[in-house]
Amino acid sequence: MKAERKPYSKSFKLEAIRRMEGCSNITGLAAELGVGRKFLYLWREQLLRYGEAALENHQGQRSDSQQSPAKRVERAPEVAGLQKRIAELERQVGQKQLEVDFFKRTFELVREAMCQPGGSGATASTPASKPRFRSKVEG
């Protein structure tokens, strides 16, 4: 017969995680708190991954790989929405990087033009360019 697990409050879990930080004997801490050592690690992982809201569930929420298929299907639209948002943000970052690269190149060209000897940065006068090739029609 399995022993029934009691639900732990969010504040209990947070306090346990806080105490883990400075603890050199996690097994002793778990025994002192009356919880399984694996729960301490599970709660800490959930806090780091999902924030404090994840600690509101009974005995900690199981990791995604341990969840039932029904629970994973239930979260699928949320995950798909987040993946879509990530893709959009990555696209925007890529676009901004292209813009930054463009302005860097433009700045370098302007800098080179200003640093040319005898130049004040103004456009130099140049002779009109001559055509390189003559068409056969022109003769």
Per residue in 50-97, pLDDT tens? 888 888 864 444 444 555 555 555 677 788 888 888 889 988 988 999
- d(CA 33, CA 58) in angstroms, rounded, equals 16
Q: How many domains does the chain have?
A: 2
Cβ–Cβ < 8 Å for 46, 54: yes
* pTM across the whole model: 0.40
Range of the domain at 53: 10-66
Residue at which a domain ends, from 50, 66, 82? 66
| 13-40 pLDDT tens trace | 989 999 988 888 989 999 998 998 998 9
- Same domain, yes or no: 23 and 40: yes
